[in-house]
Structure 1
């Protein structure tokens, strides 16, 4: 769900604000998430990567959208590739998913999936 919300936010920022403001928004969300997740993971969840938290998917999906230039095909491609990498977790995403039991692990596996997608979209364009 977080991936779809990222596409919605990307559309709003790209069309009504700017791509640069979208990038700053994602950076802000990233730092806020580290603080929020470190606090809430210890207090509210028994799992180190609870399914209820989707901000990691939001951040990860936002990374390749930076290159999509409001191109519908590239947006769909980035969504599909991100979901593929997020599910399969190729190394080093698998390391962060399995070994790092903190907000850093929760966020980094999706950020790495986003970076893999970013580079494939970059090569495509």
Structure 2
């Protein structure tokens, strides 16, 4: 289990407010909030979901690929800048994980709640391959990939629920 759901133990770098890459990696500043920065980043990500649902299916998929690849670079760069492997305030990976969760998801508050809870549970507890990735991969790829997989697992929960209920 990771510290991302506990009170921050790493100081918030001042560069979050002066460096645009750090600002993005810290989820538009949401990663600086006290207690549970990953949850705050996930909540900020939800704001974008209705906008992404306006995109055609292929557009949303392209957005996911682009934000994932960008995130690998971004998270690696900011982690290197801060000299911390995976600073708990870096939440770009949570944003992308949430966006993956809601690709092809039905619209509505109940679906947002289900996907949010599923993603946070997979991200916090890191079952099976999610935890393995978190422990064994380094750099930007390591920061991103466990949340990408948590997003895929949460996506499967949302899609399964939609298939059963709709």
- Write out per-residue CA displacement over residues 28-78 of structure 1, whole angstroms, 9 at most, x where no aligned residue: 2211111222222223232x1111110000011111211322122111100
Indicate the residue corresponding to 1:12 in structure 2.
Answer: 51
Q: Over aligned residue pairs, what C-alpha RMSD do you find? A: 1.6
Q: 1 or 2 for the larger relative contact order (CA 8 Å, sep ≥6)?
A: 1
Residues in 1 aligned to 2:153 and 2:90: alpha-carbon distance in whole angstroms: 22
Indicate the residue corresponding to 1:32 in structure 2.
Answer: 70
Larger mean Cα displacement after TM superposition, 88-97 or 24-33: 24-33
Structure 1, unpaired ranges of 5+: none
Residues in 1 aligned to 2:117 and 2:42: alpha-carbon distance in whole angstroms: 10
Larger Rg: 1 or 2? Answer: 2
Q: Normalising to structure 1: TM-score of the pair?
A: 0.87
Q: Normalising to structure 2: TM-score of the pair?
A: 0.67
Aligned residues: 122
Structure 2, unpaired ranges of 5+: 1-39
TM-aligned CA distance change 1:64 to 1:19, over 3 Å:
farther
Residues in 1 aligned to 2:47 and 2:74: alpha-carbon distance in whole angstroms: 23
Instruction: Confirm or deny: 8 A CA contact 1:67 1:121 kept in the other structure.
Output: no
